[in-house]
Chains A and B, each alone.
Chain A
Amino acid sequence: MRPFVLLAAAAALTVFGLAGCGEPEQVVFYEQGKYHGKPDQRPWENAPPAYGSAKWTKGDEASWEQEVKRRTLGQNEYVRIVH
């Protein structure tokens, strides 16, 4: 029984010891001048929120830009004043 336990312990030690050899590369590879982070999602790839007045077609950049332009022009109180 005892040799079996020793053998099992030695096998386990070997397995755990070798596990360290399988670690992936931990040094980041840099290419100078290029963004290295995760890719970002573009805002028009989202559907407009269910609440609020924002409306655009999901995936359509032009309609999203039109919506943002409408919102931007809302900051101009001259166009909001009714004479």
Chain B
Amino acid sequence: MARMKFLCDAERCIACNGCVTACKNENEVPWGVNRRRVVTVNDGVPGAEKSISVACMHCSDAPCIAVCPVDCMYHTEQGVVLHDKDLCIGCGYCFYACPFGAPQFPQEGAFGLRGKMDKCTFCAGGPEADGSQAEFEKYGRNRLAEGKLPLCAEMCSTKALLAGDGDVIADIFRQRVTVRGKGSEVWGWGTAYGPPKGGQKPAPERSKP
């Protein structure tokens, strides 16, 4: 059973914002809503500047699902976190709960009321008939139903952003780290899951010129 995940390789991301643009265009995301964005840390510091592309990470134990007061969110069988906009009341609890700031709220009406929540769907649409106009208008394209992956990752020019089954993209990342001899200890599994345990060594650092 595939568990769909995103993985952004900070050694490769060049902050071109192509993923942001592709997402907006593919899903015709409303004005003022960004399902995906690029975050840069240490901006302008030579050698220390890193960028990653962030959207909904489709958490296995998603806090947004836990806090939703109307239970409009669900996990698909592939682990994608989706929601039913017909039930969403736009309260914003999910935004507070999400560690990635993924849920977005379009302004609606003359007074800029907070509309129904909108977020990355892993290009998996929503609970409307697959490929229907209703699904597209509410949630965007359903590429998974076409046997495709999210466009943000598929069009990434440096292949920094990977999408797919967590095991498969972890293998791709691991191969990269092995080939280039760096990456995991800087911004990867080492950071996410703590220092290596006894017997394991991090990938060797590349010698500096």
User: Complex Cα distance A68/B142, Å?
Assistant: 14
- B89 smallest CB distance to A (angstroms): 10
Interface extent on A, as a size class? Answer: 35 or more
Interface extent on B, as a size class? Answer: 35 or more
Which residue of chain A lies nearest to B129 when distances are taken between CB atoms in the complex?
A41
* Known contacts A32-B71, A37-B74, A39-B127; A75/B153 CB under 8 A: yes
Q: Determine which of B73, B130, B172 lies in contact with A43 in the assembled complex, contact meaning CB atoms within 8 Å.
A: B130
User: Complex Cα distance A72/B200, Å?
Assistant: 28
Determine if B147 and A64 form an interchain contact, defined as CB atoms under 8 angstroms apart: yes
Q: Which of A8-30 contact B (CB under 8 A)?
A: 28, 30
User: Complex Cα distance A73/B168, Å?
Assistant: 7
Determine if A30 and B71 form an interchain contact, defined as CB atoms under 8 angstroms apart: yes
Which of B51-59, B110-118, B156-164 forms part of the interface with chain A? B156-164
Determine if B168 and A72 form an interchain contact, defined as CB atoms under 8 angstroms apart: yes
User: Complex Cα distance A73/B173, Å?
Assistant: 11
Determine if B147 and A38 form an interchain contact, defined as CB atoms under 8 angstroms apart: no
Contact with B along A62-83 (1 / 0, CB 8 A): 0011011101110111100000
User: Complex Cα distance A37/B83, Å?
Assistant: 8
- B125 smallest CB distance to A (angstroms): 8
User: Complex Cα distance A35/B168, Å?
Assistant: 29
Which residue of chain B lies nearest to A56 when distances are taken between CB atoms in the complex?
B147
Determine if B172 and A76 form an interchain contact, defined as CB atoms under 8 angstroms apart: yes
User: Complex Cα distance A49/B144, Å?
Assistant: 11
Q: Is the CB of B43 closer than 8 A to any CB of chain A?
A: no
Most buried by B among A54, A55, A68, A69: A68
Q: Determine which of A32, A43, A69, A72 lies in contact with B124 in the assembled complex, contact meaning CB atoms within 8 Å.
A: A43
Which residue of chain B lies nearest to A73 when distances are taken between CB atoms in the complex?
B168
Q: Is the CB of A3 closer than 8 A to any CB of chain B?
A: no
Q: Determine which of A33, A38, A55, A69 lies in contact with B164 in the assembled complex, contact meaning CB atoms within 8 Å.
A: A69
User: Complex Cα distance A28/B87, Å?
Assistant: 9
Determine if A43 and B145 form an interchain contact, defined as CB atoms under 8 angstroms apart: yes
Determine if B71 and A34 form an interchain contact, defined as CB atoms under 8 angstroms apart: yes
- A7 smallest CB distance to B (angstroms): 44
* Known contacts A30-B71, A72-B165; A37/B147 CB under 8 A: no
Which residue of chain A lies nearest to B87 when distances are taken between CB atoms in the complex?
A37
* Known contacts A37-B86, A69-B2; A48/B147 CB under 8 A: yes
Determine if B164 and A78 form an interchain contact, defined as CB atoms under 8 angstroms apart: no
Q: Is the CB of B38 closer than 8 A to any CB of chain A?
A: no
User: Complex Cα distance A1/B162, Å?
Assistant: 80
A68 proximity list for chain B (CB < 8 A): 2, 144, 147, 149, 164-165
Which residue of chain B lies nearest to A63 when distances are taken between CB atoms in the complex?
B147
Which residue of chain A lies nearest to B74 when distances are taken between CB atoms in the complex?
A35
Apart from A37-B84, A56-B147, list 7 A-B contacts with CB within 8 A.
A41-B130, A67-B147, A68-B165, A72-B162, A72-B168, A75-B149, A75-B169
